[in-house]
Structure 1
């Protein structure tokens, strides 16, 4: 069951509640065990939603989950948003990393529902009226004791939006799309056996980096301590218990830290939480995390330029972690192909390797790669040969080499034929015959054959690391 909370003290909340009741049919029920001010009296049910109304402001409510007829999977507070941000639909979690200036208790954090926030953002994107922005915010006010995972879904940012029926209906439609959504993306949630939730530290109150991750990856984000929130908390070493609670209440095992904060990172390390950056989260999206660990163990950290290929993501679809061999990439062949088409070369490696080393900021594959099967090696070389074919007339594999040939314009032969440098030289090099001293010089008269031999051998460095990974997992 999903609990929906309307506050009579909040005009936008009332408007969203009315929009919800107008969009679908609700069963009207009565609860005589609680006062009308405390969520009792008349309440409504539709499918797995139960909507109750309270007199108090949302952030002043405590143990609100107890008001519902059954324990909610999560609670959504239907609320206004205040700020100088213009028309905005937003979502966030609640709690206080530091003092409790706006509800709840100091240093306490409510249980989040990261998977729900991701779905709410997606629904906002679909339903936001023209002129409205969509976003997520950091954790910045109470309540801190809800009794169930919860989030605020908000209509903002001023009185004109709070009374806007289109804005209220957009929030209502988005809320209705949360039916059946699990609170978490982890064991028992959307990705059984995987914990793909993080806690965020740093950045602004509005979190575009978090939005990118929610839209572009399969990672979810729980509590976010923006720079000002992080500062209000005080020294990380003195507030390790608060930091620990942020992970517990987010069901998260990793941290995203924006900027340089060595004191915080030291505490996170002591607590056993790995700090990852946005690149790591983007690269690992869709890839089984034990396979990520094995590939980083074999090739090195993603932070140092290792990138994951398409077969790594497909391993998730097969619900298995393939064994793999580590091979040396054909760097000469890669260099020649990159000089022709860098993007196509990168894509060729990504299409056939589980993971691979790179240079130049992760843009050029070089060094070593992990492959899941022997055929991937030949397929990779063939794909790189296809890149060469856009420049060369013929590309052939000969043993451990690739031989590429092409007919090219020979400036020395053109000069010997009496063609003066200038426009005639250019036309001839472009494939056009020219007249010189009452005779015709044809392009084929001034061509030479260029042949390049590139090493294409892909020697195996280590094999069957997947079995080693299984052994490590068994011993763990």
Structure 2
């Protein structure tokens, strides 16, 4: 059981407002003043940018909320302009930050992210790619499991009501799937091999780090990722990582006792979820 799910939206973000509006249309919500309530869901709409939020959990407690999961309804922006519906965990693997603190990861929710992505694949709007993303940006100071649920990649998609409805519906059908949680390393920002494993096997992923983030990963960062993901295993996209990076990551995983498995081993031990 996830418990209370708090969906946080922002008036500064057109995709966020789109998702929040579609959520309001899809269910009968009760106005509680500072938030809206439907079943185990609470919808909170703020005026700040989501990635810059600090001490959100304290603010939610002041509203009388005690979430088991926080979902940020958000836009995704990308130069390639590809229509995407995506999800990821907040966190900064290095010193370069875009919201949140440097070298800090929020607590991941592997079962909820897998549920969200699978929900999206069941009725996707035409022309949209469904994918997880590498861990990035804030807020990072969260001890409550959280994830970002996003529409990308340009304003046309952010305002697309079908996309907003798909994300809203997928949030409202969230389950806390009991999955073996892995952490992942390598690949591009959209971690294609990890995405395929998430969709085609029983595993879920916690924190994911692309090859461009590998330089930031040391023992302490990898240990934090494993702890905040509840990881029982790790996957390395070896073709995308340099030899020194593979060695450093593998040695760190061995030291903290997290088993590394390849795609074949994952598929054999954790066959398709259906």
TM-score, normalised with respect to structure 1: 0.53
Structure 1 counterpart of 2:268: 283
Structure 2 counterpart of 1:8: 11
Q: For residues 308-367 of structure 1, what are the alpha-carbon distances to aligned partners after superposition, in whole Å with 9 as ceiling and x for unaligned?
A: xxxxx9xxxxxxxxxxxxxxxxxxxxxxxxxxxxxxxxxxxxxxxxxxxxxxxxxxxxxx
Structure 1 residues 271 and 147, CA, compared in 2 at 3 Å: closer, same or farther?
closer
1:197 is aligned to 2:193: no
Contact kept, 8 Å, 1:108 with 1:144, in 2: the verdict is yes
- Aligned equivalents of 2:53 and 2:96: distance in 1? 14
2:21 aligned to 18, 35, 53, which one? 18
For residues 14-163 of structure 1, the aligned pairs below 5 Å read: 14-30=17-33, 42-66=34-58, 67=60, 69-83=64-78, 84-163=80-159
Structure 1 counterpart of 2:195: 211
Question: How far apart are residue 253 of structure 1 and its match?
Answer: 2.5
Structure 2 counterpart of 1:264: 249
Contact kept, 8 Å, 1:199 with 1:246, in 2: the verdict is yes
Q: For residues 45-64 of structure 1, what are the alpha-carbon distances to aligned partners after superposition, in whole Å with 9 as ceiling and x for unaligned?
A: 00100000111111111232
Greater radius of gyration (CA): 1
Structure 2 counterpart of 1:168: 164
- Aligned equivalents of 2:114 and 2:268: distance in 1? 19
- Aligned equivalents of 1:153 and 1:113: distance in 2? 12
- Aligned equivalents of 1:154 and 1:264: distance in 2? 29
- Aligned equivalents of 2:166 and 2:271: distance in 1? 30
Structure 2 counterpart of 1:224: 208
- Aligned equivalents of 2:57 and 2:5: distance in 1? 10
Contact kept, 8 Å, 1:103 with 1:141, in 2: the verdict is yes
CA RMSD in angstroms, aligned pairs only:
1.7
Q: For residues 234-285 of structure 1, what are the alpha-carbon distances to aligned partners after superposition, in whole Å with 9 as ceiling and x for unaligned?
A: xx5xx31111100011010321111151122112212222211111111101
Q: Which runs of 5+ in 2 are unaligned?
A: none
- Aligned equivalents of 1:85 and 1:211: distance in 2? 20
Question: How far apart are residue 104 of structure 1 and its match?
Answer: 0.9
Q: For residues 129-186 of structure 1, what are the alpha-carbon distances to aligned partners after superposition, in whole Å with 9 as ceiling and x for unaligned?
A: 11111111001211111231000000111011111111111111111111xx22xx5x
- Aligned equivalents of 2:56 and 2:263: distance in 1? 35
Structure 2 counterpart of 1:254: 233
Report the 3-state secondary structure (helix = DSSP H, G, I; strand = E; otherwise coil) of the residue aligned with 1:249.
helix
Report the 3-state secondary structure (helix = DSSP H, G, I; strand = E; otherwise coil) of the residue aligned with 2:71.
strand
- Aligned equivalents of 1:131 and 1:46: distance in 2? 31
Question: How far apart are residue 286 of structure 1 and its match?
Answer: 5.3
For this pair of structures, how many residues does the alignment match?
260
Structure 2 counterpart of 1:469: none
Report the 3-state secondary structure (helix = DSSP H, G, I; strand = E; otherwise coil) of the residue aligned with 1:228.
helix
Question: How far apart are residue 65 of structure 1 and its match?
Answer: 2.9
Where relative contact order (Cα < 8 A, 6+ residues apart) is larger, the structure is 2
- Aligned equivalents of 1:282 and 1:272: distance in 2? 21
- Aligned equivalents of 1:2 and 1:275: distance in 2? 32
- Aligned equivalents of 2:76 and 2:204: distance in 1? 22
1:245 aligned to 213, 224, 229, which one? 224
Report the 3-state secondary structure (helix = DSSP H, G, I; strand = E; otherwise coil) of the residue aligned with 1:102.
coil
Larger displacement relative to structure 2 (63-72 or 268-277): 63-72
Q: Which runs of 5+ in 1 are unaligned?
A: 31-41, 288-312, 314-476
For residues 357-396 of structure 1, the aligned pairs below 5 Å read: none
- Aligned equivalents of 1:257 and 1:200: distance in 2? 6
Q: For residues 363-385 of structure 1, what are the alpha-carbon distances to aligned partners after superposition, in whole Å with 9 as ceiling and x for unaligned?
A: xxxxxxxxxxxxxxxxxxxxxxx
TM-score, normalised with respect to structure 2: 0.90
